[in-house]
Amino acid sequence: MILTLRNTFTEIGNATLFAKQFFKEVFVPPYEAKELLKQCYIIGYKSLPLVAITGFIMGLVLTLQSRPTLVKFGAESWLPGMVALSLIREIAPVITALICAGKISSGIGAELGSMKVTEQIDAMEVSAINPYNYLVVTRILACTLMVPLLVFFADAIGILGGYIGVNIHGDVNFYRYMTQIFQSLEFLDLFPATIKTFFFGFFIGMIGCYKGFNAANGTESVGRAANSAVVTASLAIFILDMVAVQITDLFFVQ
């Protein structure tokens, strides 16, 4: 028990030092713009179909599940606003981040883990190329930039799913549906939710890179790095979300 606790704290300490190195190297040339764009394409563009499907289902299911309760209270007209608020403030950021943890963090963990095991990272190092700058900085930065965009995309698709959900049992035109949404939304609903997605992105990238970069020798460790990246990143997302909600509550809710 004590040993596990000690290992956990050691791991947190090492991960913090790893993250500190990111802030040290992110502003130092050479800037790997080409690799950053490539990672943005892989992390952002290639995740679009998955995020679109889950976003659509989130919106549709949330609408269908919430409708009976609202009908009971005669508040069916609040349905678009409620769905949009739930999606934008909580559900889309968290679910999208969890999906990214599963897809991106594990992918980065496995990729860097396999590069470590097959000595590709060492090969970069002995060629006097900074592997942290080339592999880690670009991936963390790409995740930090792309996850918020993916969340916006999930918001939009979720709202579209909600529109279809509303129209399964009723008849609301798209203009009216969107007007109801915009009437119930405020800037402060969007702002804290967007800020936390940058943190989600950063941690998804950082944990994936940390696990991969520190994989032990042997192919078994590649699978372990990928698995551990998903579990740790998912846990980090929930903890960050809890902290973000507390901070939002403190500063933005009157």
Partner 1 sequence: MIKEKENIEPKTKKTKEESKTPMIVIKDLHKTFGKDNKVLQGVNLTVNKGEDLVILGRSGSGKSVTIKCIVGLIEPDKGEIKVFDENVLNLSKKDLNEIRVRIGFLFQSGALYDSMSVRENLAFTLRKHKSELTAEEIESEVIEALDNVGLADAIDKMPSELSGGMQKRIGLARTLILKPEIILYDEPTTGLDTITSREISELILDIKHKQKTTSIIITHDMACAKLTADRIMVLKDGKIHAEGTYEELEKDEDEWVRSFFE
Write out the residues near partner 1 by the rule CB under 8 A: 30, 111, 114-115, 118-120, 122-129
**Closest distance to partner 1 from the beta carbon of 30 (Å):** 8
If the CB atoms of residues 75 and 123 are measured against partner 1, the closer one turns out to be 123
**Closest distance to partner 1 from the beta carbon of 1 (Å):** 22
If the CB atoms of residues 119 and 249 are measured against partner 1, the closer one turns out to be 119
**Closest distance to partner 1 from the beta carbon of 218 (Å):** 13
**Closest distance to partner 1 from the beta carbon of 120 (Å):** 5
**Closest distance to partner 1 from the beta carbon of 111 (Å):** 8
If the CB atoms of residues 192 and 205 are measured against partner 1, the closer one turns out to be 205
If the CB atoms of residues 122 and 249 are measured against partner 1, the closer one turns out to be 122
If the CB atoms of residues 41 and 238 are measured against partner 1, the closer one turns out to be 41
**DSSP letters for the chain:** -HHHHHHHHHHHHHHHHHHHHHHHHTTSSPP-HHHHHHHHHHHTGGGHHHHHHHHHHHHHHHHHHHHHHHHHTT-GGGHHHHHHHHIIIIIHHHHHHHHHIIIIIHHHHHHHHHHHHTTHHHHHHHTT--HIIIIIIHHHHHHHHHHHHHHHHHHHHHHHHHHHHHHHHS---HHHHHHHHHHH--HHHHHHHHHHHHHHHHHHHHHHHHHHHT--SSTHHHHHHHHHHHHHHHHHHHHHHHHHHHHHHHHT--
